[in-house]
Structure 1
Amino acid sequence: MSYGDESIDDFLDSVASQKVTPAGGTAGALVGAIGTALCEMVCIHTVGGDEHGDGADELAEVRKDLQSQREFLLELSNRDAEVVDDLFGANRDETDRSVTMKRATGVPLTIAEACLSVLEQAAVVTEKGNRNAAPDAGTGSFFVHSALRASVFTVRTNLNHLSDPAFTEQMETQAADIERSADIAFERVLSNIE
């Protein structure tokens, strides 16, 4: 069963339990998916609503991309739980811990990349979407930006447990680039909704 199939109550009970998973990466991916859904909703209200924004045709395409990103973030929530279980849970594999730790660094980086894509689309949604619904895309953007920041934090935390300088440098560079680009996209969102 995937976390996307669980009720919100069941998911929150799992997070607040003694189990190793779901943990921060899984929760971050789901927060990103929720934020993405809010942006997607604004596209729907713009394309199919009575008060079309200026960019209804463009937002029909944006909506498709947002839907794909939302589904991908749900998939990543499960991947994160799997790799955390491989590191610390019942599936723990001590044979090559550094390989597993690299995977545990790669999944949150991928979550951050997906969130960046959503933030870039959210800038379009908040600019061209239905004015009455655009604040929901703003709220979604706050969720997605937070999920991105949490994912980058996880990347950096996991890098502290690796002794591979080349890998660490590469991942840190990617994380920093994602953060910079996300801040630019988020500023665009804020300027559109303020």
Structure 2
Amino acid sequence: MGVKDQTVEAYLASVAAGTPTPGGGSVSALVGALAVALTRMVGGLAVGKKGYEGSQEPLRGLEERAESVQRRLVALADEDSAAYDRVVEAMHLPKTTDAERAARVAALQAAYRHATEVPLETVERCVEALELARQAAEHGNRGASTYCGVAVLLAEASIRGASLNVRVNLASLKDEAYRALAEARLEAELAQAQTIGHEAMALVEGRI
């Protein structure tokens, strides 16, 4: 059952259970979705309100983009679990003959690469979440500015959590060219996150 089809209690129970999935990658993506939801709340509280006439167009754009990012992060929460399950399946492939061993290695490498791409996208989407929080802090309801601060903190935690998954899976990959490319993508996103997060929190603190 997907994350969106579960109750909060059911999802918490599945995380707490003694099974590998859902794990940190899934939780990171879902926390990122919560960050976006808070951002949408802050923006929504200013839509059509007196004193925010000059922000209506940016707020409409924010809501459209945020809804898409939130939906994608919820999907990534499920995709992360599926990606790790694929790694486990590859680990259990037979390895008696040379052909079986070669097939197993190939399957594992493909699975680890996919298990790298999923949390890497989570990082990318959560950097978008930070930018959305920055925009909401600038244009959204001033009385709810602290919620933007919470959104920033959640998105930053999601980025750090997903980054750990990227790095642990990269360590199992033999494709040096891909590893270098993925590491460069990750570092670029982390640098961007630091800048946007700082700007967003400064806006929040300026409104308190």
- Which residue in the other structure is 2:171 paired with? 160
Paired residues for 1:62-81 under 5 Å: 62-81=62-81
Letter in 2 for 1:77: A
- Which residue in the other structure is 2:101 paired with? none
Unpaired segments of 5 or more residues in structure 1? none
The Cα of 1:52 is off from its aligned counterpart by 3.0
Q: Structure 1's 44 and 20: CA in aligned 2 closer, same or farther, altered over 3 A?
A: same
Q: Structure 1's 73 and 139: CA in aligned 2 closer, same or farther, altered over 3 A?
A: same
Q: Structure 1's 53 and 183: CA in aligned 2 closer, same or farther, altered over 3 A?
A: farther
1:130 aligned to which of 124, 135, 141:
141
The Cα of 1:61 is off from its aligned counterpart by 1.1
- Which residue in the other structure is 1:27 paired with? 27
Checking the alignment, whether the CA contact within 8 Å between 1:152 and 1:175 is kept in structure 2 is yes
Aligned residues: 193
Unpaired segments of 5 or more residues in structure 2? 94-103
Q: Structure 1's 88 and 145: CA in aligned 2 closer, same or farther, altered over 3 A?
A: same
Amino-acid identity (%): 28
Q: 1:33-81, CA deviations, whole angstroms, 9 ceiling, x for partnerless residues? A: 0011000111110114455374122111111100110000011111111
**1:110 aligned to 2:142?**
no
What value does the CA root-mean-square deviation take over the aligned residues?
1.6
Q: Structure 1's 15 and 63: CA in aligned 2 closer, same or farther, altered over 3 A?
A: same
- C-alpha distance in structure 2 between counterparts of 1:105 and 1:8, whole Å: 27
- Which residue in the other structure is 2:183 paired with? 172
1:101 aligned to which of 112, 117, 120:
112
TM-score, normalised via structure 1 length: 0.94
TM-score, normalised via structure 2 length: 0.88
The Cα of 1:32 is off from its aligned counterpart by 0.2
The Cα of 1:187 is off from its aligned counterpart by 0.5
- Which of these two proteins has the greater Rg computed from alpha carbons? 2
Checking the alignment, whether the CA contact within 8 Å between 2:30 and 2:74 is kept in structure 1 is yes
Checking the alignment, whether the CA contact within 8 Å between 2:130 and 2:151 is kept in structure 1 is no
Q: Structure 1's 53 and 137: CA in aligned 2 closer, same or farther, altered over 3 A?
A: farther
- C-alpha distance in structure 2 between counterparts of 1:124 and 1:64, whole Å: 13
